[in-house]
Amino acid sequence: MPNRKPRPSQPGRVTLSEIAARVGTSAITVSRAINAPHLVSEELRAQIDAAIAELGYVPNRAARALASARSESVAVLIPSLSNTVFTELLSGVRDVLYAEGYRTMIGDTRYGAGEEESLLRAYLEHSPDGILLTGFDQTDAARELIARSRIPVVHMMELGPPGSYAVGLSQVDAGYAITMHLLERGYRRIAFLGAQLDPRVMQRLSGCRAALTQAGVPYPAGEILDPTPSSIGIGAQMLERLRSQAPDCDAVFCCNDDLAHGVLFECQRQGIRVPQDLAVAGFNDLAASAWTCPTLTTIATPRYLIGSAAATMLLKLMRSETPEPAQIDVGFSLVAREST
């Protein structure tokens, strides 16, 4: 009977057997060369690599997941793919997980709990080995999905209730710290500008209010809360609204640097001197904040560290280890610059 080349199990999919036939070895050896290359001679590995490249072989991760009970993937849900804060966080996640052979399924929730729930349902169909979530504002249905899946979960950016695993910082304490800085600089008519109004923004506002209350300062001098997605343009518009609402305001704490940049640009356009007429503070310490004119006072948050530490914690959970501590507070730092 004439020899026949092995046929792919799916139309167009190259199999290990086809690669083995091209090289003149067994499918088991090819699999070993791919998954444990140190067990195969350098010469044979080179031949197998050449055959893989020539035939266009792509590993079947679904089959490997069934065989090993591991998907070698992690679901990562963040509020925005365009926000530098979260792209830096993703860099930390990726660097840790990729080094351990994991790939990420990244979902953009657009700051919506409903969208997050929908993405969770879709990703759970792929049986990820772990899940990284931003914050703790999941829907009840999403929490139930996670509990039933029994898949390890680590939360990022915030610290949560006992029994949860998280890497983040106290947004309340950070809001308190920057408001105290304004008070210590002598400002008393302090306003707050907030956009997007996700839980972290509202926690910063809570810290701001606590500092003003503690100082016995009348509050609010001005407070504008807008659910519109944050942007430089929204910051500029908010300054106009603030000047109408509280014309004697002498300082403004913006919930993030995007808004603060918009305020600075609008102050320049209107001839409002910063900080002589109005002090401006932001949050997150984006790269541009060190180069605005004047340079922006803000809160620096270690986003890369949050991502890498959360991924490291998740790896331990996926190995059935118990991370200690269960909650890691990475802290923050006040960066005082010219704008205050």
- For 106, 190, 230, 335, 338, the CA distances from 212, given in Å and listed in that order, are 39, 8, 24, 20, 22
Q: What is the pLDDT of residue 59?
A: 67
- For 117, 206, 222, the CA distances from 93, given in Å and listed in that order, are 21, 29, 38
| Domain 72-169+304-332 annotated CATH 3.40.50.300 | no
- pLDDT tens for 32-64 read 888 778 888 999 999 999 998 888 887 665 555
Q: What is the pLDDT of residue 118?
A: 95
Q: What is the pLDDT of residue 63?
A: 54
Residues of the chain with pLDDT under 50: 1-11, 66, 68
Q: What is the pLDDT of residue 27?
A: 86
Question: Which fold does the domain 171-300 belong to in CATH?
Answer: Rossmann fold (3.40.50)
- pLDDT tens for 141-183 read 999 999 999 999 999 999 999 999 999 999 999 999 999 999 9
> Is residue 282 within 8 Å of residue 261, measured between CB atoms?
yes
Q: What is the pLDDT of residue 11?
A: 47
Q: What is the pLDDT of residue 3?
A: 47
Domain boundaries, the chain: 16-59, 72-169+304-332, 171-300
Q: What is the pLDDT of residue 5?
A: 44
130-134 and 153-157 beta bridge pairing: parallel
Please determine whether the domains at 72-169+304-332 and 171-300 fall in the same fold group of CATH.
yes
The class of domain 16-59 in CATH terms is: mainly alpha
